[in-house]
Structure 1
Amino acid sequence: MINQLTLIIGANSDIGKAIASQVASLADTGLILISRQAIDEKDTVEEQNSLKVKKITVKDYQPQSIDNAIADLVAHSELPISQVFVCNGILHSETFQPEKRLEDFDAQAFQQVISANTLTPMLWVQKLTPILTRKSPCKFIVFSARVGSINDNKLGGWYSYRASKAALNMMLKTASIELARRAKNIKLISFHPGTTDTPLSKPFQKNVPADKLFTSEFVAKQLLTIVADTPIDHTLSYLDWQGKSINW
């Protein structure tokens, strides 16, 4: 019998699909999948009945679209949301690549990266908090990256991506301080999945050792184990795919 929900934002991403596939096997957990594109009808979760999976398609990740999606999911079920995964983000596009040197830095590209990697996740944190604030525990996972660590930056480059993830970490840390006062049931986790074999990392896999290029299924399994083992301690955790803390 379903008694809790898992919410996945960016559910059409490879890792989002892998998380959904594993959560779908849990008899007591329903799924709410949010994406800018319709969820592939051939996905594993499609095998579940309509009571198990709720799919919400949004036009974009602007505030009004997020508000509409949240209104839809609230109307769908009164069950508590025990897990939230924000999986979306951007590293490169058809028009820009990560910067190798100062001369490559471009203001327009930076705005796109900071919007996708920092602003969008924080809008979800802001707008979901009111419906997550209850007695039931909720773990809220946002995908960050090790390159967002200022302490760990030994190579330089990738100005926009590094800055967007560092800013995201700071905003999540700030939010965790506030939630420790007003929503003690919510645990924020900033997660580094490692180099995963997805379109985001595809152009940069050449020099990645075979044992350090992960499948989405592996990352999803690791993440769900980490989430289950991480206590609600009223602070932000910055963790890698092994569950180890990353220095800020």
Structure 2
Amino acid sequence: MNNQKQKIAIFGASGSIGQALCAHYQKQSDVYAFTRNDFDIDESGLVKILLDDFNEGSVLQAANKFDNDFFDKIIVSIGILHNEDFMPEKRIEEISSDQFLETLRINTLIPTLIAKSFYKKLKK
């Protein structure tokens, strides 16, 4: 039986969900925590990978640091409902194109860029 630890990539590791996933998986796996923001966590069994931004270039650059078939699981916990600049809309009049596009970028485009750059890194 193979007792080798699984290698888990967690994107958005500094958020609440990401930190909970890191804490859960690092008990039995080697966790690679991808984040824009540093965060406090027990770092045993965990490697933090800080990215300037989750743009296409930085995601691809991070992916190129790993061999193909490296990760057993890749988890994306990146998402936004609101931030310090905007709150969720409650009425149609509150919709802003800038806010809408930023929400789409974070919730849709970034996970797609991660999939594009990392799918070959996932074990088959």
Report the counterpart of residue 230 of structure 1 in structure 2: none
**Is the partner of 2:87 in helix, strand or coil?**
coil
Which letter does structure 1 place at the counterpart of 2:117?
K
Tell me how far apart the structure 2 counterparts of residues 131 and 6 of structure 1 sit (CA, whole Å): 11
Of residues 16, 32, 35 in structure 2, which corresponds to 1:14? 16
> What TM-score results when the alignment is normalised by the length of structure 2?
0.87
Which letter does structure 1 place at the counterpart of 2:8?
T
> Would you say the 8 A contact 1:39–1:55 is kept in 2?
no
Equivalent residues in 2 for 1:1-248, closer than 5 Å: 2-26=4-28, 29-40=29-40, 43-44=41-42, 46=43, 48=44, 52-72=45-65, 74=66, 80-132=70-122, 136=123, 185=124
1:54 deviation in Å? Answer: 2.0
> Would you say the 8 A contact 1:4–1:80 is kept in 2?
no
Q: Which contiguous aligned blocks of 4+ residues in structure 1 show a shift greater than 4 angstroms?
A: none
> Would you say the 8 A contact 2:82–2:88 is kept in 1?
yes
Which letter does structure 2 place at the counterpart of 1:88?
I
Which letter does structure 2 place at the counterpart of 1:35?
T
> Would you say the 8 A contact 2:36–2:50 is kept in 1?
yes
> Would you say the 8 A contact 1:2–1:30 is kept in 2?
no
**Is the partner of 2:19 in helix, strand or coil?**
helix
1:79 deviation in Å? Answer: 6.8
1:4 deviation in Å? Answer: 2.5
Tell me how far apart the structure 1 counterparts of residues 87 and 33 of structure 2 sit (CA, whole Å): 29
How many correspondences in the alignment? Answer: 122
1:84 deviation in Å? Answer: 1.2
Larger RCO (CA under 8 A, 6+ residues apart): 2
Return 5+ residue gaps in structure 1 as ranges: 137-184, 186-248
Root mean square deviation, CA, Å:
1.8
> Would you say the 8 A contact 1:5–1:79 is kept in 2?
no
Tell me how far apart the structure 2 counterparts of residues 125 and 53 of structure 1 sit (CA, whole Å): 21
The percent of aligned pairs where both chains have the same amino acid is: 28
Return 5+ residue gaps in structure 2 as ranges: none
> Would you say the 8 A contact 2:69–2:121 is kept in 1?
no
> What TM-score results when the alignment is normalised by the length of structure 1?
0.46
> Would you say the 8 A contact 1:3–1:80 is kept in 2?
no
Distance 1:2 1:38, change over 3 A: farther
